[in-house]
Chain A
Amino acid sequence: MTEPGDKIANDVFFDWLLRRGDTALVLGHRVSEWCGHSPVLEEDIALANIALDLIGQARLWLSLAGEVEGKGRGENELAYLRDAWDFRNLLLAEQPNGDFGQTMMRQFLIDAYQSQLLKALATSADNRVAEIAVKAGKEVDYHLDRSADLVIRLGDGTSESRQRMQAALESLWPYSGEMFKGDAVDQAVVAAKIAPSPEGLRTEWLSTVDAVFTEATLSKPETDFAHTGGLTGRHTEHLGHILADMQFLQRAYPGATW
C-alpha cells in the first residue's frame, strides 16, 4: 500500500467510485443481454461469466461508494434509484451490443484500459480500493486475454469478419478517448494517491491495442475525436433505456424487498 496522499472530499471520492461501479454495471448489463443468443454455446457460457464478474465488480464499487457517501445508500439504492444524469459510466460501456464483433470490440477496448487501471489501483493508498482492484484485476486480465484473442481471430478470419470488425472499431473508437481525459475528480484522486491519472494510462493502452490490431489485420482509425460526457452524467440516449429495463421492479414497487 502507498502512503496516504492529500485528503479528498467525500463527494469527490464518491463520484470517482461511481465511475468505476457504473462502468462495470452498465457494461455487465449489456453483456448479459447476450444470454441465450450468442453464436455458439461456449460463448453463451463465457459471456454470462463475464457479465457475472462485471456485476460482481459493480457491487463492490457501489457498496464502497455508498459507504464513502455516508448517506445510507447501498449497492441497490445506487444501481436502481438514480436517474441517468447521476450515472458516471463511460459512454463506451452503454453503446449497444450490435453484432458479436461489436460487442467483442467494445469489450476489448474497455478491458485493455481496465486491466491497466486496476493494476495501478492495486497499490492505491486507500486499501479498500486496492482490495477491490486486486480481485477485479484478476478477472479483467482474463477478460482481456479472451477479448484480445477474439478480436484477433475475428479480424484475421474471413473477409466478412474483417469488414465487420473494422466497422466495429470505427464506430466505437470515438468513444475510447473518454477513458483518458482527466478532470478535477481525477486530479483529486491522484493527489490523494488513490488512483493514477487517466492520461498516464494512454500510452500503454495504445501499445496493447496497436499490437492486437496489427495481428488482427485491422487499421486503427486516424481520428482523435472523443465523445465525452458519461463520466459527468451526460449520456447517450441508450442509457435511459438500459435503466428503464434494469430499474423497472424497484421503481414500480417502491420499498418492496426481493
Chain B
Amino acid sequence: MYAQMVKTDTTKVRDLSEMSAQERAFQERIDRGEKIEPTDWMPDGYRKTLIRQIGQHAHSEIVGQLPEGNWITRAPTLERKAILLAKVQDEAGHGLYLYCAAETLGVSRDELIELLHAGKMKYSSIFNYPTLTWADIGAVGWLVDGAAIMNQVPLQRTSFGPYSRAMIRICKEESFHQRQGYDIMMKMAGGNEAQRRMAQDALDRFWYPSLMMFGPSDKESVHSAQSMAWKIKINTNDELRQKFVDQTVPQAQYLGLTVPDEHLKWNEDKGSYDFSEPDWNEFFEVLKGNGPCNRERMEARVKAWEDGEWVRDALMAHADKREASRTAAE
C-alpha cells in the first residue's frame, strides 16, 4: 500500500456494547470476515477513512509514474525499455482500479484529483525522491514495490470488497515489478565499477525513504486501532517495517551491497534484525512539501491536468453531439 498516516476521525475505538444496533451488526460482519459491499450500510467514518486511504493509494500510483517515467526514454536496452513501459502502464492501471474502488464509495475520480492538486490529499512520501541513475529504477522495483507488497498482500483480506478485489489484482502485478527491479539490481551489482557504484548509491538513497513508506510507529495510534478494527489495516506499521527489513537485508547481501545502517544487526533472540529508525523529521518535512521533488511532481501533475482540459472538454462535447443526434434520429 502507498498510504501513510490515514486519519479515521475517531477519538476512541468503541467496543460492541457502546455501538448502536446498526453499527454493532456492521462490526460483527467484519469480525466474521464478511466483505462489505458498496450498497451495504456502513458508518460514515468507515466510508471517509476508506476514501482517504484508497484515494491516497490511487494518487501514489499516478504520481509514481513520474520518477519511473523519468528513465523510459533513457532505458539502456530495448528490452529494459519495454519492461519499464509495461510496468509503468501497470501502475497507471492500478490507479484506475483504485479510483474505481473509491468511486463505489460515492466520490468521483475528478473530485479526488482536484483534492490532490489543491494539496488536500497526499500521495506516498517515496515519490518525492528523485531517480538519478538507472540503478534507481532497479531500487524502486526492489525496495519501493517490495515495501508496497508488504502492505498490500495482507490488504487482499481487507473488509471492503472492491478494495480487496483491486488488491488481489494489483498484488499479482506488483510481485512481477519487484522481480524486475531486483533483476536490474543484479545486473548493476554484478556489472562494472560504475554500475556497482550506481547500485550502492541507489540503495544508500532509497533505503530509509523505503522504511518511511510504512509510516511512523503507530502502536499507540487510535486511528490505526480503529482501522484495524475495521480491517482496512491488517498489521501495524512496525510489524510491516520489520518484515520488510528481514526480507530485504539478505537480498542486499546477495547483491554484495551494504545496507546504509551501522546498527543493523541480526538479533538471535527475537529472530529478526535490529535496525535504525529513519529520520522522522525528514519524513514530516517531505509530507509538508519539502521533499526533493514535491514541487516538481505536483507541477507535472497539475500541468498534465490543465493542459489536458481542452481534450477532456472536447471529448465531452463530442459525446453530447452524438447523443443529441441519436436522440433526434429516434
Hey, which bits of chain A sit against chain B, CB under 8 A?
Answer: 25, 29, 32-33, 35-45, 48-49, 51-52, 55-56, 58-59, 62, 75-76, 79-80, 99-101, 152-154, 156-158, 160-161, 164, 242, 245-246, 248-250, 253, 255-258
Q: What are the 3 A-B residue pairs with the smallest beta carbon separation, nearest first?
A: A39-B308, A157-B314, A161-B314
Cβ of A257: which chain B residues have Cβ within 8 Å of it? 187, 191
Closest to A99 in B: B307
Asked if A37 contacts B304 (CB within 8 A), the reply is yes
Asked if A41 contacts B95 (CB within 8 A), the reply is yes
Asked if A35 contacts B76 (CB within 8 A), the reply is no
Asked if A157 contacts B317 (CB within 8 A), the reply is yes
**Alpha-carbon distance between A56 and B191 when the two chains are bound, in angstroms:** 26
Segment of B67-75, B159-167, B262-270, B284-292 engaged in the interface with chain A = B67-75
**Alpha-carbon distance between A249 and B191 when the two chains are bound, in angstroms:** 13
Chain B contact residue count (CB 8 A cutoff): 50
Since A37-B69, A45-B89, A249-B74 are in contact, a sample of 10 more A-B pairs with Cβ atoms closer than 8 Å, ordered by chain A residue number, is A36-B65, A37-B300, A39-B307, A42-B96, A44-B65, A157-B315, A160-B313, A242-B73, A257-B187, A258-B188
**16 A-B pairs, CB-CB below 8 angstroms?**
A33-B73, A35-B65, A38-B304, A43-B308, A44-B92, A48-B89, A55-B82, A62-B78, A76-B77, A153-B314, A157-B314, A158-B313, A246-B74, A256-B76, A258-B77, A258-B187
Hey, which bits of chain B sit against chain A, CB under 8 A?
Answer: 62, 65-66, 69, 72-82, 85-86, 88-89, 92-93, 95-96, 99, 109, 134, 184, 187-188, 191-192, 194-195, 300, 303-305, 307-315, 317-319, 321
**A184 → chain B closest CB, angstroms:** 29
Instruction: Report the tally of A-B residue pairs with Cβ distances under 8 A.
Output: 148
**Alpha-carbon distance between A161 and B93 when the two chains are bound, in angstroms:** 27
Closest to B71 in A: A249
Asked if A249 contacts B300 (CB within 8 A), the reply is no
Cβ of A58: which chain B residues have Cβ within 8 Å of it? 78
Cβ of A79: which chain B residues have Cβ within 8 Å of it? 78
Selected from B73, B77, B88, the residue in CB contact (under 8 A) with A48 is B88
